[in-house]
């Protein structure tokens, strides 16, 4: 099945099964804003909880905070967001569609990569086992031609971005003959800057003096609390402060479902360290983040760590890695890890006049300096989407009576992320089974999110649980409860069916809790 079709199916699956609903659905929705249903909120909370625990519980030198969405407007001036949190936008005069000029050029770069990869794949097929990819890439005429064009474009693009040269961005689009995907024409407007921050007013009067912004990132709440946190925790460097919270960006080209939205959540860590140790800590967090993503069950082949070239780095950053995930619509950034040096704290120190320093040593040996910071910044929505994409599967499990494929849709979540850890299914709705099944449900619900379902055939109920990714279905049957009148003793066992293997095992009720516990560890 084409990846586009898989994605469409996933989006409708999310709505159908209570994961993600378009916001304001009964009013035809609101562009690029989504609500999380009963399943989605559990999945999202499980991801956030795992992230929080990985930071705050597993690191003795990391604490969490929760800062407000509204902040003093000068913060956004100091951080550079008022002047530079812009995207270059361009319109196509024929289709009247608006695009990010940088994204059009990035897509063009990806086209060169595709061409190169196709040549390599063709040659690999032709030469079989004898194929030497590195040699082919460095000697094949067509590959070298595409690569040279790509490199030249990349260099020109990076320079235009760094110089903030909007005319040059437009010229690149014209020179590369990039056309509007809708109208197919090159009838482009000038490139203009567009600030992505949402503005509103605080108080009763609506004038520029009362302007406040909806924060476009949570990080500034951490930087501006640096002095408060350091003083009250009395932490020595290195130490980190993290938070999870809402951010807002008036994206020019939102889309791809919950990948690029206007209201989203971020999980951000600011890890403060001594200048000079920063690159070491950058490596630590780069590896940590990679392992974390594997830990939530993402497939390594769908992950790519893209280190920024020196010319691509922001002027204050010493190193940046984008963790990209292969979504059905292509590679997209999931997590950004950056060495931001002392840029943010210095900016706030200079603007507020408050010292943002760390003091080391005692008496006359004391030195003070602005710490450097490593920032891993992960989007909750993009994590949810990556997990859903990796988990969604359609499996042919047999044939129906008419000979058509019997397809089961299953979400292979890591058990710890699954909204329900288990479902209790009495084989019959009758009180004799429903009563004990409900008792079991009440017992397990004290420990885990557990579903209870007594309607429909057991096969249909298994399928429903597969569709929401419940790892274990627990069936209470007549052997479980026995039959006193017939002198049949209860065996106090249940059948546990595994979502992924569909295998069933008989297990004493008394072992259920520890069994599930052992399976939902990360």
Rule CB under 6 A: which residues touch ligand ATP?
A: 217, 249, 251, 260-261, 264, 266, 333-336, 377-379, 381-382
Min. distance of Cβ 334 from ligand ATP in angstroms? Answer: 6
Min. distance of Cβ 491 from ligand ATP in angstroms? Answer: 50
Min. distance of Cβ 380 from ligand ATP in angstroms? Answer: 8
- Whose Cβ is closer to ligand ATP: residue 54's or residue 266's? 266
Q: Which of 33, 52, 14 is nearest to 522 (CA)?
A: 52
Min. distance of Cβ 179 from ligand ATP in angstroms? Answer: 23
- Whose Cβ is closer to ligand ATP: residue 154's or residue 274's? 154
- Whose Cβ is closer to ligand ATP: residue 50's or residue 441's? 50
DSSP 122: H
> Do 473 and 461 meet the contact criterion of CB atoms below 8 Å apart?
yes
Give me the DSSP letters along 138-207.
HH-HHHHHHHHHHHHHHHHHHHHHHTT-HHHHHHHHHHTT---TTT----B---EEEE--EEEE-SS--S
Min. distance of Cβ 79 from ligand ATP in angstroms? Answer: 12
Give me the residue whose beta carbon is nearest to ligand ATP: 379
> Do 298 and 291 meet the contact criterion of CB atoms below 8 Å apart?
no
- Whose Cβ is closer to ligand ATP: residue 296's or residue 378's? 378
C-alpha to C-alpha distance for 65 and 157, rounded to whole angstroms: 38
Phi and psi angles of residue 34, each rounded to the nearest 5 degrees, phi first? -130, 155
> Do 188 and 170 meet the contact criterion of CB atoms below 8 Å apart?
yes
- Whose Cβ is closer to ligand ATP: residue 303's or residue 481's? 303
Min. distance of Cβ 132 from ligand ATP in angstroms? Answer: 35
Min. distance of Cβ 214 from ligand ATP in angstroms? Answer: 13
DSSP 238: S
Q: How many helices and strands (H and E) does the chain possess? A: 17, 23
Strand, coil or helix: 346: helix
Strand, coil or helix: 106: helix
Min. distance of Cβ 74 from ligand ATP in angstroms? Answer: 21
C-alpha to C-alpha distance for 146 and 114, rounded to whole angstroms: 10
Min. distance of Cβ 251 from ligand ATP in angstroms? Answer: 5
Classify residue 327 as exposed, middle or buried by CB count within 10 Å of its CB (0-12, 13-18, 19+).
buried
- Whose Cβ is closer to ligand ATP: residue 20's or residue 334's? 334
- Whose Cβ is closer to ligand ATP: residue 17's or residue 85's? 85
Phi and psi angles of residue 451, each rounded to the nearest 5 degrees, phi first? -100, 160
- Whose Cβ is closer to ligand ATP: residue 266's or residue 349's? 266
Min. distance of Cβ 32 from ligand ATP in angstroms? Answer: 8
C-alpha to C-alpha distance for 213 and 61, rounded to whole angstroms: 31
- Whose Cβ is closer to ligand ATP: residue 62's or residue 269's? 269
- Whose Cβ is closer to ligand ATP: residue 44's or residue 260's? 260
- Whose Cβ is closer to ligand ATP: residue 373's or residue 474's? 373
> Do 263 and 251 meet the contact criterion of CB atoms below 8 Å apart?
no
- C-alpha angle 246-248-253 in degrees, rounded to nearest 5: 135
- Whose Cβ is closer to ligand ATP: residue 51's or residue 420's? 51
Helix or strand (DSSP H, E) at 119: helix 101-127
- Whose Cβ is closer to ligand ATP: residue 295's or residue 482's? 295
Min. distance of Cβ 323 from ligand ATP in angstroms? Answer: 8
Q: Which long-range contacts (CB under 8 A, 24 or more apart) does 148-153 make?
A: 149/112, 150/109, 150/112, 150/113, 150/116, 153/105, 153/108, 153/109, 153/112
Min. distance of Cβ 254 from ligand ATP in angstroms? Answer: 6
The residue behind tokens 């939205």 is 261
C-alpha to C-alpha distance for 218 and 67, rounded to whole angstroms: 8
Min. distance of Cβ 377 from ligand ATP in angstroms? Answer: 4
Give me the DSSP letters along 445-462.
HTTS-EEE--SS-HHHHH
């Amino acid at each position: 099945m084409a990846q586009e079709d898989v994605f469409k199916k996933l989006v409708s699956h999310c709505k159908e099964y209570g994961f993600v609903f378009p916001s304001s659905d009964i009013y035809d929705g609101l562009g690029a804003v989504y609500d999380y249903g009963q399943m989605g909120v559990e999945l999202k909370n499980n991801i956030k909880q795992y992230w929080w625990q990985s930071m705050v519980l597993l690191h003795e030198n990391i604490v969490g905070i929760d800062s407000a969405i509204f902040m003093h407007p000068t913060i956004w001036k100091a951080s550079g967001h008022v002047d530079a949190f812009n995207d270059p936008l361009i319109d196509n005069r024929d289709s009247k569609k608006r695009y990010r000029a940088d994204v059009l050029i990035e897509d063009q770069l990806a086209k060169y990569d595709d061409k190169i990869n196709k040549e390599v794949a063709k040659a690999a097929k032709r030469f079989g086992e004898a194929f030497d990819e590195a040699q082919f890439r460095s000697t094949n005429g067509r590959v070298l031609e595409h690569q040279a064009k790509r490199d030249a474009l990349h260099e020109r693009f990076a320079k235009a971005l760094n110089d903030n040269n909007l005319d040059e961005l437009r010229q690149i689009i014209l020179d590369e003959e990039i056309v509007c995907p809708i109208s197919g024409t090159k009838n482009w407007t000038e490139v203009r800057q567009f600030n992505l921050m949402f503005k509103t007013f605080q108080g009763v009067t609506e004038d520029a003096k009362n302007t406040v912004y909806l924060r476009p990132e949570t990080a500034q709440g951490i930087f501006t609390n640096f002095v408060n946190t350091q003083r009250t925790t009395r932490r020595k460097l290195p130490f980190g402060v993290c938070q999870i919270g809402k951010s807002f960006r008036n994206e020019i080209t939102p889309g791809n479902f919950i990948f690029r939205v206007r209201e989203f959540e971020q999980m951000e860590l600011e890890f403060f360290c001594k200048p000079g140790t920063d690159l070491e800590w950058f490596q630590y967090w780069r590896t940590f983040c990679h392992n974390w993503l594997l830990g939530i069950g993402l497939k390594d082949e769908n992950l790519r760590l893209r280190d920024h070239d020196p010319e691509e780095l922001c002027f204050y950053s010493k190193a940046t890695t984008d963790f990209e995930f292969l979504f059905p619509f292509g590679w997209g950034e999931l997590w950004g890890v950056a060495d931001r040096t002392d840029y943010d704290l210095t900016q706030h120190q200079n603007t507020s006049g408050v010292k943002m320093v760390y003091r080391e040593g005692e008496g006359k040996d004391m030195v003070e300096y602005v710490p450097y910071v490593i920032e891993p910044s992960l989007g909750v929505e993009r994590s949810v989407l990556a997990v859903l994409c990796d988990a969604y599967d359609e499996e042919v499990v047999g044939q129906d009576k008419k000979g058509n494929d019997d397809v089961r849709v299953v979400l292979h979540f890591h058990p710890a992320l699954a909204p329900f850890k288990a479902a209790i299914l009495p084989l019959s709705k009758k009180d004799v089974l429903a009563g004990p099944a409900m008792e079991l449900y009440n017992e397990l619900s004290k420990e885990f999110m557990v579903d209870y379902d007594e309607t429909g055939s057991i096969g249909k109920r298994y399928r429903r649980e597969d569709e929401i990714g419940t790892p274990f279905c627990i069936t209470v049957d007549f052997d479980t409860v026995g039959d006193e009148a017939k002198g049949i003793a209860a065996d106090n066992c249940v059948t546990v069916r595994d979502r992924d293997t569909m295998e069933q095992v008989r297990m004493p009720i008394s072992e259920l809790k520890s069994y599930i516990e052992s399976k939902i560890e990360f």
